[in-house]
Amino acid sequence: MASTPSVPLLKDELDIVIPTIRNLDFLEMWRPFFEKYHLIIVQDGDPTKVIKVPEGFDYELYNRNDINRILGPKASCISFKDSACRCFGYMVSKKKYIYTIDDDCFVAKDPTGRDINALEQHIKNLLSPSSPFFFNTLYDPYREGADFVRGYPFSLREGVPTAVSHGLWLNIPDYDAPTQLVKPLERNTRYVDAVMTIPKGTLFPMCGMNLAFNREIIGPAMYFGLMGDGQPIGRYDDMWAGWCIKVICDHLGLGVKTGLPYIWHSKASNPFVNLKKEYKGIYWQEELIPFFQSATLPKDCTTVQKCYIELSKQVKAKLGKVDDYFIKLADAMVTWIEAWDELNPSAEKSTELPNGAAAAK
Ligand SMILES: O=c1ccn([C@@H]2O[C@H](COP(=O)(O)OP(=O)(O)O[C@H]3OC[C@H](O)[C@H](O)[C@H]3O)[C@@H](O)[C@H]2O)c(=O)[nH]1
Ligand SMILES: [Mn+2]
């Protein structure tokens, strides 16, 4: 049994956001690790369905009626019938940190057979610096039993604040539909004991299944886009957010880590349904990736909101010709920021970050 700290780390500074269309029995397995934290449940689909939450959890639950009531016309930027709806939970939270997890993700075991307290590891990742400017070959130098290796510049060893901690998955890996179709029986059994900073200038495929972030320094950029009902694409919610946050983190001098912790992803979603959702994204992304790789933000973009609005302008100007969808998405990115600032009025103030960058308060 993993050790559960007597006073859970960041107990009153972190919310757990769960998008769901199901009952939340999976929480029973997470009780030792989650029970002391506040949950924000975003119920997708039919708002008249009653979602059962196990006894003893402190939570707030929002369905589509709540989202429409709270945001009014701005609710148009929150996806319906897609896990992208989870970003509403990021917006209504008042905490400094967010952990989001899917409801089919269970507690995994490490090679010694101990239950993995994924939340504790994410918190460690977020509370220790990142090293995006120079790759450390012994991976995360701030972990117990590791350090910077010979040749690592001392001027860079202080690192930068960590904005995102991207966890992984044992059992069902987060594969796209084509890969799922050709490898239906493949399971991820490989536990890699590593946490590493994704180097500056490198994009990555961010999965929202087991993800934590510092809401204060990157929250406004964690918009999961327009997916699901009425949209030409799905299952690119977390990918879109990951490309946007990485460009902004690189610009603001913030770090993104990937690796531990693992969760146990219990079931594969239907690959044929997934293919229908993904297929446009599979060819669009061949144009999206070069766009994000070459995206630059002006020096006067010193807050996440300013960066995000600037990025939305570039999306409209450069991706509108790929498909009209990106014009709609660019507008939705602006609506998202307007809604964020409306619900988080103090967000417009900012505090200085290293390199003169600033983070939303
Ligand atoms: O319409 C929906 C469908 C699902 N959800 C909730 O989202 C979570 C993920 O759902 P599920 O585990 O069924 O799908 P996966 O294919 O495994 O999810 C991956 O792809 C989509 C997302 O990017 C996700 O983060 C990935 O892990 C789960 O909690 C469902 O209850 C929903 O809210 N609305
Ligand atoms: Mn799943």
Is the pLDDT score of 326 beyond 90?
A: yes
Which one, of 44, 38, 55, 48, lies nearest residue 22 by Cα? 44
Q: Which residue CA neighbors atom 15 of ligand 1 most closely?
A: 269
Which one, of 284, 288, 176, 178, lies nearest residue 233 by Cα? 284
Residue range 246-303, pLDDT digits in tens: 999 999 999 999 999 999 999 999 999 999 999 999 999 999 999 999 999 999 999 9
On the CB side of 198, CA atoms within 13 Å amount to 25
Contact 243, 288 (CB under 8 A): yes
Distance (Å, whole) CA 258 – CA 7: 26
Least distant ligand from the CA of 224: 1
Atom of ligand 1 nearest to the CA of 85: 33
Give pLDDT, residue 356.
45
Residue 83 neighbours by CB distance under 10 Å: 26
Cα dihedral: 237, 43, 347, 209 (round 10):
-40
Start-end of H helices in the chain: 27-34, 64-71, 87-92, 118-127, 177-182, 215-218, 237-252, 271-294, 304-319, 325-343
Which of 85, 87, 102, when mutated, tests ligand 1's pocket best, judged by the most ligand atoms within 8 Å of its CB?
Answer: 102
Is the pLDDT score of 357 beyond 70?
A: no
Give pLDDT, residue 8.
85
- CA-to-CA separations, 209 to 33, 135, 167, 278, in angstroms, rounded: 17, 26, 8, 17
Q: Which residue CA neighbors atom 5 of ligand 1 most closely?
A: 83
Q: Which amino acid is at 230?
A: G
Q: How does residue 3 score in pLDDT terms, banded at 50, 70 and 90? A: low
Give pLDDT, residue 318.
98
Q: Which amino acid is at 316?
A: K
- CA-to-CA separations, 47 to 20, 21, 42, 246, in angstroms, rounded: 11, 10, 10, 34
Give pLDDT, residue 11.
93
Give pLDDT, residue 359.
45
**pTM as predicted:** 0.95
Distance (Å, whole) CA 235 – CA 43: 17
Least distant ligand from the CA of 180: 1
Give pLDDT, residue 352.
45
Distance (Å, whole) CA 133 – CA 276: 39
Q: Which residues of 164-191 are buried (b: 16+ CB within 10 A; e: fewer)?
A: bbbbbbbbbbbbbbeebeeeeeeebeee
This model of the complex carries an ipTM of 0.97
Q: Does the Cβ of 103 fall within 6 Å of ligand 1?
A: yes
Least distant ligand from the CA of 22: 1
